Structure 1
Amino acid sequence: MKFLYYSIVLLFVSSISFGQEVNIDAVLAQAKQETEKGNFDKALSLVEPLRAKFPENEDIQVYTGRIYSWKKDYPSSIKILAPLTDRSNPNPDALQAIINTYFWSEQYEKCISYCDKYLAIDPKSVDVIKTKAFCLEKLNRDQEALEVIEKASIADNSTQPFRSIRTLIGKKAKNAIAASYLNISTSEPGQSPLHYGYVEYSHKFSKSAIVGRANIGNTGNDTQMLFETDFYQTFSNKSYLYANAGLSTGETLFPVGKAGLEYYFAPVKKFDFAFGARFMHFESDDITLLTGQVAYNTGSYTLAYRPYYDTGNSLFSHVLSLQRTNEEKERIIRLELQYGTVPYLYLYNGFTQPLEAFRVGLQYQHRLGDSFFVRPIFLYEREEYTPGEYRNRFNVQLIVTKRF
């Protein structure tokens, strides 16, 4: 009889416990649905009563702390999670949650300390190692970040998870040198090819950058030089100003003197805008080009339109481009469609007349290691060289850059 009584009581208690467990799971599932919709207050209204009723349930505590961090109420999240992480046997899930909370709230020193706590439990956690390295990078402790990455890469035999951090650190390099060669050839009819090259050095300051460039051009027995400088100044609203000036030793391959100014406005949602002008002085003529740009950015793609207006000859030219950028690998693929007398790089002559030119161009940038870049460029033109007469024009260029 006693056995039957205890069996009934045990069955009753078990059924109540099972009912409570199902109830907890159901409430947490509903709270998860609300967080996925961004309804964090609604989710908290569901889990807070559970947390009060079952304070010993650490899964509920951790999930509540996560919801507060997703809501960006970081102090409340830390208040809930800290008791579970600051004890002698910390809860690993709570450690992960508080690491994210400190990282999102930009408390990087605290975040690093909790990363170390977690790595003492699981030293091979790639996600936590990445977070620690990101924190070190944010604190400009780049060498420490690289050492953490290197150690993890050797242990894991892979550098793949840490490419984005290496890219961020690489982009902080203050200096770069570059060299380029450009060949311009024509066919049907053909003429002697033109050869252009340059070497340049650039240096970044905290809010500005300067570039010095020496260009050389050759056709037949004629060789000329162009020396120019670019200057960039950024502003607190994410806009920036570009300025250019140059002087040459000749009158045909390059303008005698040139100058340019362009202002890039602060981004408006997914749109970028710019407006500027280019001025070129030749021995027999002066040319002023008005230009600008409107660009639409969506994820890794940028669609941009840039017009040029030659004020002296009343000529409009147009460039439409589509560019795909991989920020992590610093890889670029760019397609350009051009119509009219578009200045290709620094090239523009003083003998402009209303002749048609249709162009399609493709360029690709590839990073080698952490600091070398190669950029091949190909541009094909169907060029009206005299009224009603067309020829093929091929622009092939290679740019190699090293940053340090």
Structure 2
Amino acid sequence: MKFIYYTLFLFLVSITAFGQEINSDETMAKVKIEAEKEHYDKALALIEPLRAKYPENEDIQIYTGRIYSWKKDYNTAVKILLPMCDRANPNIEALQALINVYFWLEQYEKCIVYCDKYLVIEPNSVDVLKTKVTCLEKLNRDEEALEIIERASLADNSTQAFRGIRTLIGRKAKNAVSVSYLNISTSNPGQSPLHYGYAEYSHKFSKSAIVGRANIGNADNETQMLFETDFYQTFKNKSYLYANAGISTGETIFPVAKAGLEYYFKPQKKFDFSLGARFMHFENDDVTLLTGQLAYNTGVYTIAYRPYYDTSNELFSHVLSLQRVNEEKERIIRLELQYGNVPYLYLYNGLSSPLTSYRAGLQYQHRIGNSFFVRPIFLYEYEEYIPGEYRNRFNVQLILTKRF
């Protein structure tokens, strides 16, 4: 008889425990639904009684910590997760949750500590390695970050996961050198090609940058040079000022002297504006160009309009461009449509007659490795070379850049 009583008692206890387990599972399912909807207070109202009832259940504890972190109550999340992470045998799920909390808090040193604890258990976790490398980059410990990337890349034969971080580190390079060659040819009627080239060196400071450039031009069996410098100054509101000045060794291929100033500012997230002027002194004339830009950024694409107003000739020129950028690969494709007497780079004719052109141009930038760039440019012009007469003009340029 006692056996029957004991059997019934154990059966009832099992049924009760099973019912409680089902109840806790159902509650957790509801908690997750509310959390996915970002109804964090409702989710916490459901899970907190479970956490109090089953304090030994670490899955419930960890998910509660995650909800507090999603709610941005980071201090409570840390308080819940930390005991499961600081013991001799840390819970790997709690470590992952705590890593996220410290990363969102921008406490990168602490985040690295718990990344290391996680990597002792799972040394090949790409997600945690990526988080650690990102923290190192934020702390400007770039050499350590690159060493980890190299080891991880060798392990899985891929750099895909770390491309964005490599790019961020590469952009911190203070120095760059560039060389360029530009060939200008014409047809119907044709003339001897014009040749231009430059070599430049740029250096970035904390809030400014300076560029020194030596240009050389050859036209009509004559060679001249233009020496110029660019200066960029950034400000706290993310605007910046661009200044340019140059002087040449001749009077025909380049301006005798030139100067420019332009201020770029961003009053709204997706819009960029600028206002500026260019001044060029030629042997027999002075040219002043007023310019500016209105650009709309969609993230990947940027569409921009830039006018030029030649105050001497009272002539407007226009440039409309569409540019696609891959930030991770630092790859650029740019299409330009131009009308008028638009200056091509540092070239502008100091002619008294307002000659105009129709132009279409395409340029492409490709990064090779981490720090070498190739940028080919092609621009076709239907050019008015004397009043009322037009010809074809082809501008082909190649720019090579190495940053370090």
TM-score w.r.t. the length of structure 2 is: 0.94
Match of 1:308 in 2: 308
The SS at the match of 1:140 is coil
CA deviation digits over 1:203-242, x for unaligned, max 9? 1111111000000011121111100000001111111110
Q: Which stretch of structure 1 is more off in the superposition, 89-98 or 109-118? A: 89-98
CA deviation digits over 1:157-209, x for unaligned, max 9? 22221111211111111111100000111111111111100000011111111
Q: Counterparts in 2 of 1:5-404, with a 5 A limit?
A: 5-6=8-9, 8-10=11-13, 12-35=15-38, 39-351=39-351, 353-404=353-404
Amino acid in structure 1 at the alignment position of 2:82: A
The SS at the match of 1:265 is strand
Amino acid in structure 1 at the alignment position of 2:371: S
How far off its partner does 1:10 sit?
A: 5.0
Q: Which stretch of structure 1 is more off in the superposition, 134-143 or 22-31? A: 22-31
How far off its partner does 1:110 sit?
A: 0.5
Amino acid in structure 2 at the alignment position of 1:164: G
Q: Which stretch of structure 1 is more off in the superposition, 135-144 or 41-50? A: 41-50
CA distance in 2, matches of 1:189, 1:273: 40
The SS at the match of 1:161 is helix
1:27–1:47 Cα contact (<8 Å) kept: no
1:296–1:302 Cα contact (<8 Å) kept: yes
CA distance in 2, matches of 1:40, 1:238: 35
Amino acid in structure 1 at the alignment position of 2:329: K
How far off its partner does 1:4 sit?
A: 6.4
2:323–2:333 Cα contact (<8 Å) kept: yes
Amino acid in structure 2 at the alignment position of 1:372: F
Q: Among all aligned residue pairs of Structure 1 and Structure 2, give the percentage whose two residues are the same amino acid.
A: 74
The SS at the match of 1:51 is helix
CA distance in 2, matches of 1:305, 1:246: 26
The SS at the match of 1:288 is strand
- Residues 1:143 and 1:60: Cα distance change in structure 2 (over 3 Å): same
- Residues 1:104 and 1:390: Cα distance change in structure 2 (over 3 Å): same
CA distance in 2, matches of 1:43, 1:319: 55
1:338–1:358 Cα contact (<8 Å) kept: yes
TM-score w.r.t. the length of structure 1 is: 0.94
How far off its partner does 1:7 sit?
A: 6.9
CA distance in 2, matches of 1:24, 1:6: 27
CA distance in 2, matches of 1:316, 1:41: 60
1:34–1:42 Cα contact (<8 Å) kept: no
CA deviation digits over 1:17-49, x for unaligned, max 9? 3431332233223223322xxx44444344334
How far off its partner does 1:3 sit?
A: 7.4
CA deviation digits over 1:81-126, x for unaligned, max 9? 1111111121111111111111121111101100000000000001
The SS at the match of 1:321 is strand
CA distance in 2, matches of 1:179, 1:160: 30
How far off its partner does 1:269 sit?
A: 1.6
Amino acid in structure 2 at the alignment position of 1:17: Q
1:99–1:114 Cα contact (<8 Å) kept: yes
How far off its partner does 1:321 sit?
A: 1.1
Q: Which stretch of structure 1 is more off in the superposition, 66-75 or 232-241? A: 66-75
2:306–2:319 Cα contact (<8 Å) kept: yes
2:303–2:321 Cα contact (<8 Å) kept: yes
Q: Which stretch of structure 1 is more off in the superposition, 69-78 or 145-154? A: 69-78
How far off its partner does 1:318 sit?
A: 1.1
CA distance in 1, matches of 2:330, 2:281: 36
CA distance in 2, matches of 1:357, 1:47: 71
Amino acid in structure 2 at the alignment position of 1:393: R
- Residues 1:74 and 1:249: Cα distance change in structure 2 (over 3 Å): same
CA distance in 2, matches of 1:213, 1:298: 33
1:136–1:142 Cα contact (<8 Å) kept: yes
Q: Which stretch of structure 1 is more off in the superposition, 124-133 or 3-12? A: 3-12
1:292–1:307 Cα contact (<8 Å) kept: yes
Amino acid in structure 1 at the alignment position of 2:50: L
How far off its partner does 1:62 sit?
A: 1.8
CA deviation digits over 1:254-300, x for unaligned, max 9? 11100000111145121111111111111111111111111111122
The SS at the match of 2:152 is helix
- Residues 1:206 and 1:34: Cα distance change in structure 2 (over 3 Å): same
| Unmatched segments (≥5 aa) in structure 2 | none
Q: Which stretch of structure 1 is more off in the superposition, 96-105 or 62-71? A: 62-71
- Residues 1:333 and 1:291: Cα distance change in structure 2 (over 3 Å): same
- Residues 1:222 and 1:102: Cα distance change in structure 2 (over 3 Å): same
- Residues 1:41 and 1:396: Cα distance change in structure 2 (over 3 Å): farther
| Unmatched segments (≥5 aa) in structure 1 | none
